[in-house]
């Protein structure tokens, strides 16, 4: 890994709250984003415990990557963190305390759109401390079966992500691709509103397990034999765009401002986190990574 340069750290000008229903539980939950001092990082706080529990958004705290990214151990864990983290990282908010009164943030429409709008409405300000820009010295690839994820050295100090989604012939989600240079402006305009998606048989399986019983196809993207059920795509390649959003959220767990060219093919949270862990081992480590503790 090598340093490319520096930029000012950023935080919120004021606190802001977003409320809604958890995608998995159906419970009413809220997330409160609060400004934080330089070098604080992104830290989740479970406020529903008598003694609030803090979980730093670090890859060392990842305990699950099946269909979503989970931090912490039961009962002190928080799941489906990727959309919140994508909103923060996509808008380049480095320091923020994220208070949640449940084990998942509001699911909303399965995108990061309302989070991003709330953060932009709160205002984002520069801080005195600097954030290092990092890139790789040579391409690094992680792979599992037909899925792969590669990061190559940065060009022009930018982060570009390219995703190819391909579930094979006969799938109702057609093969598609999205390429995006990530800036706060492009994230808000091109990615934040792109929703998570499932195939109809996957949704049926999840609900048979008691997960997401309150969700209907109108609430997010459920693909049936002929495309989205009771819903319409916001972009022709919205699923591929959402995969880019997920990568941004998972990369936030590196805790660094990463630049480079990322190319992904059929990858998901497991490979995203595998790449983050691999990169993390190559970076200078802070003297102390906060574990779970009272707020």
Whether the predicted pLDDT of 289 surpasses 60: no
Question: Each residue of 252-278: pLDDT tens digit?
Answer: 999 999 999 999 999 999 999 999 999
> Which residue from 289, 206, 248 is spatially nearest to 82, judged by alpha carbons?
248
Q: CB of 55 within 8 A of CB of 247?
A: no
Whether the predicted pLDDT of 208 surpasses 90: no
Per-residue model confidence (pLDDT) at position 28 = 96
Q: What count of other Cβ atoms lies within 10 Å of the Cβ of residue 3?
A: 10
Those residues whose C-beta lies under 8 Å from the C-beta of residue 254, and which sit 6 or more positions away, are: 59, 276, 279, 280, 283
Whether the predicted pLDDT of 215 surpasses 90: no
Bigger pLDDT: 249 vs 208: 249
Annotation says 157 is catalytic: no
Question: Each residue of 235-250: pLDDT tens digit?
Answer: 999 999 999 999 999 9
Instruction: Annotate 121-132 with DSSP letters as a single string.
Output: HH-EEEEEEEEE
CA dihedral 205, 209, 215, 220 (to 10 degrees): -40
Measured CA to CA in angstroms, residue 212 lies from 22, 27, 198 at distances of 8, 10, 12
Tokens encoding 16: 């802001």
Per-residue confidence at 286, pLDDT binned at 50, 70, 90?
low
Tokens encoding 99: 């208070």
Q: What is the mean pLDDT of the chain?
A: 93
* 3-state DSSP assignment of residue 192: coil
Rounded to whole angstroms, how far apart are CA atoms 120 and 245? 17
Per-residue model confidence (pLDDT) at position 292 = 44
Tokens encoding 285: 């480590």
CA contacts within 13 A on the Cβ side of 171: 14
Rounded to whole angstroms, how far apart are CA atoms 150 and 262? 6
Q: What is the DSSP letter of 189?
A: I
Whether the predicted pLDDT of 219 surpasses 90: no
Per-residue model confidence (pLDDT) at position 168 = 86
Question: Each residue of 23-47: pLDDT tens digit?
Answer: 988 899 999 999 999 999 999 999 9
The catalytic position among 61, 178, 242, 269 is: 269
Give the homologous superfamily in CATH for domain 2-288.
lpxc deacetylase, domain 1 (3.30.230.20)
Instruction: Annotate 160-187 with DSSP letters as a single string.
Output: EEEEEE---TT-SS--EEEEEE--HHHI
Whether the predicted pLDDT of 285 surpasses 90: no
């Amino acid at each position: 890994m090598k340093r490319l340069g520096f930029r000012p750290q950023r935080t919120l000008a004021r606190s802001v709250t977003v409320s809604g229903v958890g995608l998995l539980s159906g419970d009413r939950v809220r997330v409160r984003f609060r400004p934080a001092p330089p070098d604080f990082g992104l830290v989740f706080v479970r406020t529903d415990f008598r003694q609030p529990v803090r979980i730093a958004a670090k890859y060392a705290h990842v305990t699950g990557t099946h269909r979503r990214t989970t931090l912490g151990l039961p009962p002190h864990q928080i799941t489906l963190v990727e959309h919140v983290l994508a909103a923060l990282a996509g808008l380049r908010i480095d320091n923020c305390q994220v208070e949640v009164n449940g084990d998942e943030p509001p699911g909303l429409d399965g995108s990061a759109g309302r989070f991003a709008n709330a953060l932009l409405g709160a205002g984002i300000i520069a801080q005195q401390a600097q954030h290092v820009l990092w890139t790789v010295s040579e391409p690094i690839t992680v792979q599992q079966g037909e899925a792969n994820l590669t990061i190559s050295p940065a060009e022009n100090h930018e982060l570009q992500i390219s995703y190819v989604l391909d579930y094979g012939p006969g799938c109702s989600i057609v093969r598609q691709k999205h390429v995006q240079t990530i800036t706060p402006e492009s994230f808000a305009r091109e990615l934040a509103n792109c929703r998570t998606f499932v195939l109809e048989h996957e949704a049926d399986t999840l609900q048979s397990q008691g997960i997401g019983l309150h969700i209907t196809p109108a609430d997010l993207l459920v693909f049936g034999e002929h495309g989205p059920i009771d819903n319409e795509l916001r972009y022709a390649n919205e699923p591929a765009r959402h995969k880019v959003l997920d990568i941004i959220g998972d990369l936030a767990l590196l805790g660094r401002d990463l630049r480079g060219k990322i190319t992904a093919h059929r990858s998901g949270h497991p490979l995203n986190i595998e790449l983050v862990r691999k990169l993390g081992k190559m970076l200078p480590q802070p003297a102390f990574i906060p574990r779970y503790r009272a707020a």
